Structure 1
Amino acid sequence: MRKAFIRNIAEVEWKEFPAHHGGALSKPLVAADNSDARLIDHRISCYQPMAYVERHAHKVQEQVYHVLEGEGLMEIAGEKRVVRRHDVIFIPPGIEHAISNTGLVDLVFLVITTPMTDE
């Protein structure tokens, strides 16, 4: 039987995942390694000024980014656009993308990914 839970964000440690640089930190709030989740990965990320994730694409994963604070530069399929509070970004599988904090304060955003079968 799968297990439900309530977890406070403060219970989860910040991590700098591979290909993330300069203070591009994330808290994996719901992930395969800390829950019974099979079809979703939910993180909150906090990128310090000049932090970024390298350009990459996922084979089968869909992703949603939801910017909560700050501003940065989102690159999707070679096109760059400023993103800021309340912007929601959808990335289908196979599309190269990257995000960086080009602002003056921390860039804070949610990342929701499904399924978690490739990386």
Structure 2
Amino acid sequence: MTDRKSIIRNIVEEPWQEFPAHFGGALSKALVAPATTGSRLMDYRISTYAPMAYVERHVHKVQEQVYHILDGEGLMEIDGKTRVVRKNDVIFIAPGSWHSITNSGLGQLTFIVVTTPVSDE
């Protein structure tokens, strides 16, 4: 783990990654994370999903998450209920809620994901 430190970074400094259980061009940049800043209470990512890209349905034991849709549209499933999400929607995911997001739109789906605490498994 990286030592904790205060930083200023430009988004272009972090490479795009396709994290495990993300498919079809579901790319993210881990801007604030244990590996990049040594953060313990926060994981902050920007993600962009190509059409038909998705993260498989999953659950976090103790993590809370906020998704903030910046552009595009897709489908967000939470606990078996699916809803269209689009620009300016903010989604809160409570611990224990099964969830997934899919880009079902015509263009890129771009969003911020904030997760705390980082380690729950």
Same fold (TM over 0.5): yes
Match of 1:102, SS? Answer: coil
Runs of 4+ in 1 over 3 A off after TM superposition: none
Count of residue pairs brought into register by the alignment = 119
Match of 2:12, SS? Answer: helix
Match of 1:10, SS? Answer: helix
Give the Å deviation of 1:2.
4.0
Name the residue aligned to 2:59: 57
Structure 2 residue ranges without an equivalent (≥5)? none
Deviations 1:58-99 (A, max 9, x none): 011000000000000000000000000000000010100000
What RMSD in Å do the two structures reach over aligned CA positions? 1.0
Name the residue aligned to 1:9: 11
Q: Structure 1: how far apart are the matches of 2:23 and 2:71? A: 19
Structure 1 residue ranges without an equivalent (≥5)? none
Q: Structure 2: how far apart are the matches of 1:100 and 1:81? A: 11
Give the Å deviation of 1:117.
1.3
Name the residue aligned to 1:22: 24
TM score, norm. by length of structure 2: 0.96
Name the residue aligned to 2:75: 73
TM score, norm. by length of structure 1: 0.97
Q: Percent identity?
A: 66
Alignment of 1:74-89 (within 5 A): 74-89=76-91
What amino acid maps onto 2:111 in structure 1?
F
